[in-house]
Amino acid sequence: MRASDDRVTQILAEWERERPDLDASPMGVIGRIHRIGIHLTEELTRVYREYGLGEGDFDVLATLRRAGTPFERTPSELAASTMVTTGAMTKRVDRLEGAGLVTRRVSDADGRGRVVQLTERGLELIDEAYTRHLENEERLLGDVSADDRAALARILGNWLAEVENRDAAGARRPVG
C-alpha cells in the first residue's frame, strides 16, 4: 500500500471536500503518528506478554537493567525515568517483587529511603525479553530504509524535545 492509499489520506480528502476553508494538513502527520503508535503498542506488548510482563513491568525492569551493576534505583528515580507517578510505581514494584523479579531494601545512602534492585531471575528475564524486543523492533522497521530511519529519528527527536521543553516550561508557568 502506498502512503497515498492510507486511511488518513482518505480522511484528509473528505475534510478538504467538506471544509476547504480549513488546513487539515497537520492531521497528515499527527493522524499517522497516532495510528502507527496504536499498531506499535500492540506489537510491542505482544512480546512483553511472551515473558509474562505488561508494558509498565518491562519498562521498570529495563530501567533497572540499564542502570548497570548493581541494577538498582530508588522508586523516585524509577518513576521519573518511566514517567509515572510514585503511586503507580509502587504498584508496579509490588507486582514485580511478588513475581521474584525485583527486591526492595533500605538505601545505604539514606536509611529512610528504599532501593529497588533486579534479582538474578529478573536480570535473566529482562536480558532475554530485551533481546526479543529489539528483534521485534527491527522487524517492525524492516521496510524502512536506514536513511529514512535516521531522518525519522532526527525529526522525531527534535520534535519531542520541543514538546517536552514546552510542557516543562508550561509546568513552571503560573496559571491565571
Q: Determine the structural domain holding residue 16 and report its residue range.
A: 1-50
DSSP codes of every residue in 59-106: HHHHHHHTT-TT-EE-HHHHHHHHT--HHHHHHHHHHHHHTTSEEEEE
- Residue corresponding to grid cell 514494584: 93
More confident residue, 134 or 172: 134
Mean predicted confidence (pLDDT) in 52-64: 95
- Residue corresponding to grid cell 495510528: 35
Res 173 pLDDT > 60: no
Mean predicted confidence (pLDDT) in 154-171: 87
Q: The pTM is what?
A: 0.82
Instruction: For 82-96, write each residue's pLDDT tens digit.
Output: 888 888 888 999 999
Q: Do 83 and 113 fall into the same domain?
A: yes
Eight-state DSSP code of residue 141: T
* Residues contacting 144, CB < 8 A, separation 6+: 152
Mean pLDDT across the chain, nearest whole number?
90
Q: Do 128 and 163 fall into the same domain?
A: no
* Residues contacting 79, CB < 8 A, separation 6+: 85, 86, 88, 89
Express as a percent the part of the chain with pLDDT over 90.
74
* Number of domains comprising the chain: 3
Q: Do 133 and 153 fall into the same domain?
A: no
